Amino acid sequence: MSKTEHTLRIAPLRSMREFIGGNEWAKPTFIPSEFGELQKQVIANLIYYQTNYGAIAIPFLLLVAFFCPTAIIFGLLVLAALLAGFVHTQKTRTALTVLAHDRPIVVLILLLVAAFVIIRMFGTVFAFLFGIALPLALIVGHATARTQTLQNKAENTVEELSLQSTPMGLLLHWLGTKTEEQKSTQQRK
């Protein structure tokens, strides 16, 4: 591996007009036969709007951390432990691996429910709901309802072909999610 393969870059912050405005909104279809298309759309939007999503999540985290610092730290540690366990099970090829490959959104929901149950046992639900779950719900909701623009598709193709990685690209890679370019490259081999 060369050094260029490890370059981490932050994606640009998209304008509010591009992020919220425009006619590129659609009611998501949750029909099982079309779930693959919805998954592609969500992954593409997560990569394209990742800096905007960070700009949404960070104020929530900081606000809750200001009022309940130990609760938010505990919530983040629980979520990190669950994600680490998930990544470990991905490497050992369990039934969860198949579910994560076919239905990554379901796995995310299961991880959040497990984190909620664990945190509920310790009485820090407020911090989890408003500091972690609400921003994630807003992000997934936006990524699901926002359709891809031509610029979005072009940027994602450049991202997939580039040797530079972004934080969201790394997170999706660790969670075992593959983009369309990665799937087609794997099929050619």
- The 10s digit of each residue's pLDDT in 131-155 is 878 888 888 888 888 877 777 777 7
pLDDT value, residue 183 = 53
pTM of the complete model: 0.69
Collapse the DSSP code of 86 into the 3-class scheme (helix H, G, I; strand E, B; otherwise coil) and give the result.
helix
pLDDT value, residue 163 = 46
How much is the average pLDDT of 174-186? Answer: 58
Q: How confident is the model at residue 2 (pLDDT cuts 50, 70, 90)?
A: very low
Residue 179 vs residues 24, 66, 114, 173: alpha-carbon distances, Å: 21, 37, 26, 9
Residue with tokens 């969500």: 42
Asked if 141 and 39 touch (Cβ cutoff 8 Å), the reply is no
pLDDT value, residue 30 = 74
> Cα dihedral sign for 105, 106, 109, 115?
negative
Asked if 133 and 112 touch (Cβ cutoff 8 Å), the reply is yes
- Tell me the pLDDT tens digit for each residue of 90-141: 777 777 777 777 777 777 788 888 888 888 877 777 777 778 788 888 888 8
Structure tokens at 85: 């366990």
pLDDT > 60? residue 184? no
Structure tokens at 181: 């370019």
pLDDT > 60? residue 4? no
pLDDT > 60? residue 181? no
Asked if 50 and 166 touch (Cβ cutoff 8 Å), the reply is yes
d(C-alpha 161, C-alpha 158), whole Å:
5
Residue with tokens 């007009």: 17
Region class of 180: left (phi > 0), else alpha (psi between -120 and 50), else beta: alpha
Q: How confident is the model at residue 162 (pLDDT cuts 50, 70, 90)?
A: low
Domain chopping of the chain, boundaries: 34-183
- Tell me the pLDDT tens digit for each residue of 35-91: 778 888 888 888 888 889 989 889 988 988 888 888 888 888 888 888 888 878 777
